């Protein structure tokens, strides 16, 4: 089963919100609702989204501030901004603060759906890194992704769980880049069962025991506080 693309819809005007949600769901997207800036930031901190549709004029925290806040921690998720403000200055401000696209109200529904599809397609293309082969070697270590086993730093052959294999593959394919907790949750654990950060930390600790010469001074597997996890070679 292919996972549906997930969208966070942030719009405080209820009738418009419900109409957009219905049409997006009819297109096959999974939609999470937020009606103010505070709810939006809480949702982004808890879940992975393929796209955020963000109204500018919001209660609690406005859309510009929400976009700025998201971009501090996440440069990957596309943001489509909606606004009744239609001057060039307003559009430039929105784009400067983190929006990937800007649509002024009132808008044509078909145009919005096309822009949504294009942003998600573009994001997916960017995230599809050059995949690594069936085996990968670094230092004294070799991982066999198909067999789900590995030869450790100290020459011991070990079996890997499916989640260990997926997490290793994800980190190595994004070598030297921080992979966010949200992305790990989406790809390794799927959408429904979310472990705690401690669970992911335990996986990283195990990788250090398997593959590092000195697990206390890791060369390969790093936890980046507040941001995510990184593999370096």
Whether residue 181 has pLDDT greater than 80: yes
Q: Which domain holds residue 182?
A: 135-231
Whether residue 172 has pLDDT greater than 80: yes
Nearest in space to 231 (alpha carbons), one of 170, 164, 153, 151: 170
Q: Is 59 within the bounds of a domain? A: yes
Average pLDDT over residues 189-194: 60
Q: Are residues 120 and 209 in the same domain?
A: no
Q: Is 175 within the bounds of a domain? A: yes
126/19 Cα distance (integer angstroms): 30
Residues 9, 33: contact at Cβ < 8 Å? yes
93/99 Cα distance (integer angstroms): 9
Q: What does the pLDDT read at residue 206?
A: 95
Task: Give backbone dihedrals phi and psi of 134, rounded to 5 degrees, phi first.
Answer: -75, -25
Whether residue 130 has pLDDT greater than 60: no
**Looking at per-residue confidence, does 130 or 85 come out higher?**
85
Q: Are residues 82 and 169 in the same domain?
A: no
Whether residue 84 has pLDDT greater than 60: yes
Q: What does the pLDDT read at residue 129?
A: 55
Q: In total, how many domains does the chain have?
A: 2
Q: Is 155 within the bounds of a domain? A: yes
79/65 Cα distance (integer angstroms): 13
Q: Are residues 40 and 80 in the same domain?
A: yes
Chain centroid to Cα 159, Å, comes to 28
Q: Are residues 115 and 35 in the same domain?
A: yes
Tokens of 58: 């919001």
Q: Are residues 102 and 63 in the same domain?
A: yes
E strand spans, 79-160 = 79-83, 101-104, 135-138, 141-144, 149-151, 157-159
The CATH code of the domain that includes 111 is 3.40.50.2300
**Looking at per-residue confidence, does 174 or 80 come out higher?**
80
194/204 Cα distance (integer angstroms): 17
What are the tens digits of pLDDT across the range 14-72? 999 999 999 999 999 999 999 999 999 999 888 888 999 999 999 989 999 999 998 87
Burial class (CB in 10 A: 0-12, 13-18, 19+), 168: buried
Which pLDDT band, with edges at 50, 70 and 90, does 1 fall under?
very low
How large is the angle between the packed helices 109-127 and 14-26, nearest 10 degrees? 60
């Amino acid at each position: 089963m292919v996972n549906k693309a997930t969208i966070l819809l942030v719009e405080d005007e209820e009738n418009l919100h419900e109409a957009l949600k219905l049409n997006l769901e009819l297109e096959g997207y999974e939609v999470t609702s937020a009606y103010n800036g505070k709810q939006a930031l809480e949702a982004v901190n808890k879940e992975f989204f393929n796209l955020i549709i963000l109204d500018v004029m919001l209660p609690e925290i406005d859309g510009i501030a929400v976009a700025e806040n998201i971009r501090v921690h996440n440069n990957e998720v596309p943001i489509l901004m909606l606004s009744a403000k239609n001057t060039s200055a307003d559009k430039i401000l929105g784009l400067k603060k983190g929006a990937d696209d800007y649509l002024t109200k009132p808008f044509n529904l078909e145009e919005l759906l096309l822009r949504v599809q294009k942003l998600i397609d573009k994001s997916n293309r960017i995230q599809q890194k050059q995949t690594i082969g069936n085996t990968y070697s670094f230092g004294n270590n070799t991982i066999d992704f198909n067999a789900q086993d590995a030869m450790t730093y100290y020459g011991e052959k070990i079996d890997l769980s499916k989640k260990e294999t997926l997490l290793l593959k994800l980190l190595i394919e994004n070598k030297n880049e921080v992979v966010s907790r949200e992305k790990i949750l989406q790809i390794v654990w799927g959408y429904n069962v979310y472990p705690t950060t401690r669970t992911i930390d335990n996986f990283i600790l195990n990788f250090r025991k398997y593959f590092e010469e000195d697990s206390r001074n890791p060369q390969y597997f790093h936890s980046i506080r507040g941001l995510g996890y990184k593999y370096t070679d």
